[in-house]
Amino acid sequence: MSSPHQSSSSVEHHVAHHFKDGEHEFLTAKQGMWLFLLQEVLFFSPLFVGYFIFRHMYYHDFHVAAQQLDWVMGAVNTVILISSSFTMARAVSNAQKGKREETVEALLFTILFAFGFLVVKYLEYSHKIHAGTLPGHFFHDAELLKAAPHAPLFFTFYFAMTGLHAIHVIGGIGILIWILMRARRGEFGPKYFTPVELTGLYWHFVDLVWIYLFPLLYLVG
């Protein structure tokens, strides 16, 4: 058995009484997270299925409407999210190694990337609100409506999909800040890093959704 002194944790984590040991607790929590992510895939899937169906039905209209999106913005956000996934993975492995400073640093970068993503998203949304390329009957770009009568439907999907994703990013920032504060207090180390690991799984999933959204909406829409 390893002695508590090998751990850099300055705050000792107590395994809940209904678990055999720390590993049992960790594996159970992680499995719960995977189950949550399974649910998340299904939660997002109706939007994807709906998008596939309507893209097939109104191929031309969706294509014309998708031209309104700025693929450079989408690409920048893709790079930002992939980089944040990398820093998140670094945060997890640093926590596992008991490197407190490095963990905090990696989490800080992840949070900064997440804010960067939201800034780009804000620029995109405000441009669309200005141009009137909005969902359903909020749509008021007469010229585009003439060229593509079903363009409002495309923007319904655009805002629903990227909006739901952005809500996940915002929620992620909250969790990351909480984890960052706990990491600073020295709560995590080789014996207990469950919250960092689970936050990592969640954050990678957010990246995963964007990996599909970017080509679907910005590139081949």
Residues in touch with another protein (CB under 8 A): 1, 20, 23, 26-27, 30-31, 34-35, 37-39, 41-42, 45-46, 48-49, 52-53, 56-57, 71, 75, 78-79, 82-83, 85-86, 88-90, 92-93, 96-97, 136-137, 152-153, 200-201, 204-205, 207-208, 211-212, 214-216, 219-220
Q: What is the amino acid identity at position 58? A: Y
The whole-angstrom separation of Cα 134 and Cα 158 is 9
The nearest distance, CB 145 to another protein, in angstroms, is: 11
The nearest distance, CB 60 to another protein, in angstroms, is: 14
State which residue, 41 or 181, has the beta carbon closest to another protein. 41
Count of H helices and E strands in the chain? 7, 0
DSSP at 15: P
Kindly report the number of other CB atoms within 10 A of residue 113's CB atom: 24
The nearest distance, CB 113 to another protein, in angstroms, is: 12
Residues in the chain: 221
The tokens describing 76, both together, are: 């920048």
The nearest distance, CB 92 to another protein, in angstroms, is: 7
3-state secondary structure of 69: coil
State which residue, 4 or 126, has the beta carbon closest to another protein. 4
